A and B are shown apart, each in its own frame.
Chain A
Amino acid sequence: MGLIDDIKSFSEKEKLGAKKNELLQSFLAKGFPTIKEEEWKYTSLKNIVAESFSVEENGTEISKGDIEKYILGFKYKIIFLEGVLISKPNIKGVDISDFSNFETKNDDAIFGLNSALAKKGFTIKVENNIILEAPIEILFFSNTKNNTFVQHRNKIIIGDNANIKFVERIQNLSSTKCFTNHLTQIHIGKNTNIEYNKIQDNSANSILIDNINIYQLQDSNAIVNTLIFGGAFTRNTLSFEQNGSNCDSNMNGISILDDNQFADNHTFVDHKQPHCRSNEMYKGIYLGKSKGVFNGKIMVRPDAQKIDAFQSNNNLLLSESATIDSKPQLEIYADDVKCSHGCTIGQLDDEAIFYMRSRGIGAEEARAVLTYAFASEAVNNISIPEVKKLAQKLIAKKLNVDLDFNL
């Protein structure tokens, strides 16, 4: 028995309805993506889906203490358990409600599967001109007794002239495996700014496939910060579609992996309109036998003139057994475009380590400081001090040092 069989028997038992059933059948006809597909070349789901998972939500509970351990303590908190909303804040001009009318996209297997299996989706609707000082914290907990395959489905629709920040965290509290198919679509109105922070520090028995699709209208600015520290397997797909002129799409990523952790960042910026910018900076730090994948695609369509697109992917391999596969993918069909990309893979500088040690800084700490320095450019792009601090704390923890990187 593997996950495919689990999904099959679930669909036979449960009445999904005609539309969902159709989506499910088309998923089952192809199954999970394999390494034969270009987009999954370095990312194998084979061992994961060979295992058995429960596809049903089996009504679990969490305590207040569990929640408190993982919140950053902002004013506005939205909390989900097994994909079901359990707590939401009252914010003027912000409406949080469910929906069950799922569409799908192209013939993306993971997307289709999410549409077929997700019971409820959640929409956060933000009216025009809403400016929130405090970020909205969104927490997705799971706490099941068996290995479970969970779907999260979210839609965030933000009006014009708004300014909103989000901090998102997915947390598995149980000792069983949790495989999450997490899908978020964000529509951003004209002249609106958003910052979306993803803290991926899940437990070691967690598997995540995360898709975020961002749709921007003119004069909007979107920032997505992805911080990967935990989880056994993470596949992030982050896409921006620029549907108006003068849009900014920004991405910062920091991954610090060790042991057998795996993380894949696939990004895609679709420049469809002129006078837009995209700026992408991903930093990867790999210890132990960890493995990283980066694939950054930038598409500049024929009418998208005067585009400024910048991409960098810098990696530190801190162990002989760690690996990274990095690939930029530029497709440019307009002629008045500034586009640059760069990828580096390196080690720590021994001279610098000796220099620091000669100043009384221990070897471990010297390595940690240099590693932090490597990541700091991306950390400094996080605008929320609490998130920045958490990132620093988690980096120190991951590198096994008791250091404060701030002055």
Chain B
Amino acid sequence: MIKITNLKAGIGETLILNGVNLEVKAGEVHAIMGPNGSGKSTLASIIAGKEDYEVTEGEIGFEGEDLLELPPEERANKGVFLSFQYPVEIPGISVSNFIKTSINERRKAKGLEPMPTPKLLKMMREKMELLSIKDGYLSRNMNEGFSGGEKKRNEIFQMAMLEPKLSILDETDSGLDIDALRIVANGVNKLKTNDNATIVITHYQRLLDYIVPDFVHVLYNGRIVKSGGAILAHELEEKGYDYIIKEADKKWA
């Protein structure tokens, strides 16, 4: 589904990604872990199309297309979804209006008529139920005054509404209480099919108990320095990153 080859990117003079290679196939779940500041969110933002970063080398292919050529909205329309580590507050726009606009703008891009409002509202109700989201939430302004956990749940709600092919969940677990974590993870699992794929960025094994990854990667200094199966996450939880970092520092010294 997505193939990242030797991706190098940064801001100004500083290089943040030093040659990332990653391939995710339909039906797979990949977890990306790694120390703070290693470039996980940067990688996620570049996939979503954030223009602040300059890609100096490498490619991102998405279903055979060059993703780097496309503006963020077209990537979204092709099925890329990013659950933000820090969701943005948008005062003056209600959750329902925001979602209605994004769904209808995507339909417009595909040459479809806007979704009839009753159908849209019904779909929202269903997805709210899936994520145990309370009533009254739809009329609140987008993320404004939301608690950390509410913001994360709102990200997954949008994911459920937009039904993306590739979802990147950037630390969606941080800020969620234990019950919310289970609800959100179950929601993600229910949305999983053989045709979509998920990249989970997390610091904690706990989330991976619910969303079991096919592959786990460690990103360090802008490179994937180690990959393995679900077992690797357990190993990291136990041993920390130290032994991997030492190896990597030696290799790329």
* Residues of chain A at the chain B interface (Cβ within 8 Å): 349, 351-352, 354-363, 365-366, 369-370, 372-374, 376-377, 403-407
Known contacts A358-B72, A369-B93; A352 and B88 CB within 8 A of each other: yes
Cβ of B72: which chain A residues have Cβ within 8 Å of it?
354, 357-358
Interchain residue pairs with CB less than 8 A apart (5): A354-B49, A357-B73, A359-B102, A360-B73, A405-B97
Cβ of B51: which chain A residues have Cβ within 8 Å of it?
354
- Alpha-carbon distance A174/B91, docked complex (angstroms): 41
Distance from B91 Cβ to chain A, minimum over Cβ atoms (Å): 6
Please report whether the interface of chain A is mostly helix, strand, loop or mixed according to DSSP. Answer: helix
Cβ of B98: which chain A residues have Cβ within 8 Å of it?
356, 359, 369
Interface residues of B in 198-244 (CB under 8 A from A): none
- Nearest residue (CB) in A for B99 is A359
**Pair B92/A355 contact, Cβ less than 8 Å:** no
Cβ of A354: which chain B residues have Cβ within 8 Å of it?
49-51, 72, 88
Cβ of B140: which chain A residues have Cβ within 8 Å of it?
none
- Alpha-carbon distance A279/B48, docked complex (angstroms): 43
5 A-B pairs with least C-beta separation = A373-B92, A360-B76, A357-B72, A359-B102, A360-B106
**Pair B105/A365 contact, Cβ less than 8 Å:** yes
The answer to whether B191 has its CB under 8 Å from any CB of chain A is no
Taking a contact as CB atoms closer than 8 A, the residue among B71, B94, B158 that contacts A357 in the complex is: B71
- Alpha-carbon distance A37/B100, docked complex (angstroms): 50
**Pair B93/A373 contact, Cβ less than 8 Å:** yes
Distance from B42 Cβ to chain A, minimum over Cβ atoms (Å): 14
The answer to whether B162 has its CB under 8 Å from any CB of chain A is yes
Most buried by B among A349, A354, A370, A406: A354
Cβ of B106: which chain A residues have Cβ within 8 Å of it?
360
- Alpha-carbon distance A362/B105, docked complex (angstroms): 7
Interface residues of B in 66-114 (CB under 8 A from A): 71-73, 75-77, 81-82, 84, 87-94, 96-98, 100-103, 105-106, 109, 114
**Pair A407/B105 contact, Cβ less than 8 Å:** no
The answer to whether B117 has its CB under 8 Å from any CB of chain A is yes
**Pair A355/B90 contact, Cβ less than 8 Å:** yes
Cβ of A373: which chain B residues have Cβ within 8 Å of it?
90-93
**Pair B71/A363 contact, Cβ less than 8 Å:** yes
Known contacts A373-B92, A407-B97; A359 and B84 CB within 8 A of each other: no
- Alpha-carbon distance A359/B94, docked complex (angstroms): 15
- Alpha-carbon distance A93/B160, docked complex (angstroms): 58
